[in-house]
Structure 1
Amino acid sequence: MATDYDAPRRTRPEELDDESLDELQTRRGDPRSGVVDVDEPDVVESFELPGADLSGEELSVRVIPKRADEFTCTRCFLVQHRSRLVDTSGGQMICRDCAG
């Protein structure tokens, strides 16, 4: 049975018995009961986070290449200094945070 998560919740047990059999059968025959809501791309694009107006902002990131004394942890994928290298078993380089 489909559940309408937007409907108010029933808190009292006697409210569960309020619906008649006819109402339930009518709802079962509802052609919309099997329809799945799909997010419209327009709605998702127009969604704004409160206090975050980045429409006029240009974001840029400077990428620094990995140095000779650094490694990339094979578990967390963070670039770490060689002094944080704990385990190299099986050819995998693992940092202290992931090993501990």
Structure 2
Amino acid sequence: MATDYDAPRKTDDESQEDSIEELKNRRNDAKSGDVDQDEVEAAESFELPGADLSHEELTVRVLPRQADEFTCASCFLVKHKSQIAEVKGDKIYCVDCY
């Protein structure tokens, strides 16, 4: 069966335009504010099992850039010299950004 995608999709019930007053009343409904909840509030209400890491401390040893590494001028990641794609003046770009 062929589908006519150019045919109007509204039914007779939907074709009647809502008045401005009806739209204003819908906007002021009590339920309409539920959609506008703050995402942070919603996220704080969820608790994942074993996810309390407040007592943990991260210890990461940061090494300076090595002689065989460079910093990409586009993504600012430190990469090995084998990842050099292009050198434009004093700017070096990696193969991922080129």
Shift of 1:39: 3.5
* Residue in structure 2 matched with residue 50 of structure 1 by the alignment: 48
Q: What percent identity do the matched residue pairs reach?
A: 41
Are 1:71 and 2:58 counterparts?
no
Name the SS of the counterpart of 2:85 in structure 1: strand
Label 1:44 to 1:25 Cα distance change in 2 as closer, same or farther (>3 A).
Answer: closer
* Residue in structure 2 matched with residue 8 of structure 1 by the alignment: none
Name the SS of the counterpart of 2:82 in structure 1: helix
More strand by share: 2
Gaps of 5+ in 2: 1-10
Label 1:91 to 1:45 Cα distance change in 2 as closer, same or farther (>3 A).
Answer: same
Shift of 1:55: 2.2
Q: Normalising to structure 1: TM-score of the pair?
A: 0.52
What do the CA deviations read for 1:40-59 (whole angstroms, capped 9, x no partner)?
Answer: 97x37835562422122222
Name the SS of the counterpart of 2:25 in structure 1: helix
More helix by share: 1
Label 1:47 to 1:56 Cα distance change in 2 as closer, same or farther (>3 A).
Answer: farther
C-alpha separation in 2, matches of 1:96 and 1:38: 42
Gaps of 5+ in 1: 1-12
Cα RMSD over matched residues? 4.0
Greater radius of gyration (CA)? 2
C-alpha separation in 1, matches of 2:66 and 2:72: 14
* Residue in structure 2 matched with residue 5 of structure 1 by the alignment: none
